[in-house]
């Protein structure tokens, strides 16, 4: 089977990449390792979509139901546990109505998958990749189903544990954050007003992310790995008590609305991102700490950069998979990725440090950003993705 681009993966990044290319009349085959009846793996997970991500979807007429499945992020509140001072980010300060949307991962995937199915230039194949080869200026994939696929370019959008990256033997930097995250849903008696709240505690941030409807939120509670057995041992009543103590009083009475899920946090970064007629995007390249909720947005910026280059090359009749295009993609994306990774590491390391002076440093940082409007606006512009 021949196409112009092969996209390997099944998540929002793979679906977005395929849909964008397909809607630009680029013949695309998406290789999904799951069977036809399989839906997006459904853990309790909200995704934050920044303004630049929403604009990307609008540009290509994707996720047109965003307002019916997403909760607008009206404000962001950042504070330290049991300390005075509140850092408030307000989108009107940068002339925006909101910071983007909080969207359930499965709802987003369903919408993107519908966009893929509705695009005639996209073919979806359900199989694992057995081998990758490059022959006569074409990429050749042999699938476990027995099919052979050929294309001008292969895009690996297959996540943190990328099979394509492993088959290419790319060197990968990995590290554990020595933290675990507990995720669950809560209902509350007061309307969240579209406010995302993040409280820095001694072992990591505790965040409540507003869900559509006003009276429910997703809790993302980061703790040290040393607390894993304790968190897993909590019964429903004790878990409710611990979460209620940490939630803002502005949410009113709290009630658990789901079973908790726990995940260890780790960092993965591929030191190479391109090979002959192959490029990585999203978590296949960089899987980062969820502290700022920017993982998917960072990947969508990869996708925009790469698909823009592909569309431009095709429009002037050039080879979309040539190595110069891939080198340019790597170059234009590296600074943004490096800055975000470094910033998140610095913030996370400051707040989880056990040094006695650290709480004072953290409080100083919150107050400094709170009182300095230009600095506060700079943070908001960066988080929106509009700096790119």
pLDDT in tens, 296-354: 999 999 999 999 999 999 999 999 999 999 999 999 999 999 998 888 887 777 666 66
pLDDT in tens, 115-146: 999 999 999 999 999 999 999 999 999 999 99
* Residue 12 pLDDT exceeds 60: yes
* Residue 367 pLDDT exceeds 80: no
* Residue 359 pLDDT exceeds 70: no
CA 145 to CA 129: how far, in whole Å? 9
For the chain, give the percent of residues with pLDDT over 90. 74
CA 143 to CA 147: how far, in whole Å? 5
The full set of domains in the chain, from first to last, is: 5-71+105-173+267-356 (3.50.50.60), 178-265 (3.30.9.10)
pLDDT band at residue 50, thresholds of 50, 70 and 90? very high
Q: Would you mind telling me the total number of residues written for the chain in this entry? A: 388
Going by C-alpha positions, the residue among 359, 381, 382, 363 that lies closest to residue 371 is 363
- Residue 37 main-chain phi, psi, to 5 deg: -80, -5
pLDDT value of position 42: 43
* Residue 113 pLDDT exceeds 50: yes
Q: Are 111 and 65 in contact (CB under 8 A)?
A: yes
pLDDT in tens, 56-103: 999 999 999 999 999 999 999 988 776 666 788 999 998 999 999 999
Which segments of the chain does DSSP mark as H helices, in order? 12-23, 51-59, 66-69, 105-117, 163-168, 228-233, 236-246, 295-315, 323-352, 358-371, 373-384
b/e sequence 337-364, b meaning 16+ C-beta within 10 Å: beebbeebbebbeebbeeeeeebeebbe
pLDDT in tens, 215-260: 999 999 999 999 999 999 999 999 999 999 989 899 999 999 999 9
* Residue 43 pLDDT exceeds 60: no
- In this prediction the pTM is 0.92
pLDDT value of position 349: 72
């Amino acid at each position: 089977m021949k196409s112009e681009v092969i996209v390997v993966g099944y998540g929002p990044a793979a679906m977005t990449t395929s849909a964008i290319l397909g809607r630009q009349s680029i013949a695309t085959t998406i290789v999904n390792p799951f069977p036809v009846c399989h839906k997006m793996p459904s853990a309790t997970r909200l995704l934050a979509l920044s303004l630049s991500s929403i604009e990307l979807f609008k540009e290509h007429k994707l996720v047109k139901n965003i307002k019916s499945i997403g909760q607008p992020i009206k404000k962001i509140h950042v504070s330290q546990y049991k300390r005075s001072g509140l850092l408030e980010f307000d989108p009107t300060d940068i002339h925006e109505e909101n910071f983007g949307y909080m969207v359930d991962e499965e709802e987003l995937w369903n919408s993107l998958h519908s966009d893929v199915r509705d695009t005639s230039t996209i073919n979806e194949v359900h199989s694992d990749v057995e081998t990758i080869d490059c022959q006569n200026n074409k990429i050749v994939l042999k699938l476990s189903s027995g099919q052979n696929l050929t294309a001008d370019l292969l895009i690996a959008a297959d996540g943190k544990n990328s099979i394509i990256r492993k088959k290419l033997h790319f060197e990968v930097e990995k590290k554990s954050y020595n933290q675990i995250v507990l995720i669950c849903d809560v209902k509350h008696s007061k309307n969240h007003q579209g406010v995302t709240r993040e409280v820095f505690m001694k072992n990591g941030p505790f965040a409540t992310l507003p869900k559509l409807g006003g009276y429910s939120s997703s809790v993302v509670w980061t703790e040290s790995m040393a607390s894993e057995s304790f968190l897993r041992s909590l019964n429903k009543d004790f878990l409710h008590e611990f979460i209620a103590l940490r939630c803002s009083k502005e949410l009113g009475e709290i009630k658990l609305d789901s079973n908790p899920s726990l995940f260890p946090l780790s960092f993965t970064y591929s030191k190479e991102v391109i090979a002959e007629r192959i490029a990585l995007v999203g978590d296949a390249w960089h899987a980062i700490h969820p502290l700022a909720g920017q993982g998917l947005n960072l990947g969508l910026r990869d996708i925009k950069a790469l698909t823009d280059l592909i569309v431009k090359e095709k429009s002037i009749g050039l080879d979309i998979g040539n190595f110069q295009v891939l080198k340019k993609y790597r170059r234009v994306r590296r600074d943004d990725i490096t800055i975000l990774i470094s910033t998140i590491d610095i913030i996370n390391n400051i707040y989880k440090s056990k040094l006695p002076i650290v709480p004072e440093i953290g409080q100083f940082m919150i107050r400094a950003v709170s009182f300095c409007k230009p600095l506060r606006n700079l943070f908001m512009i960066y988080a929106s993705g509009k700096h790119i």
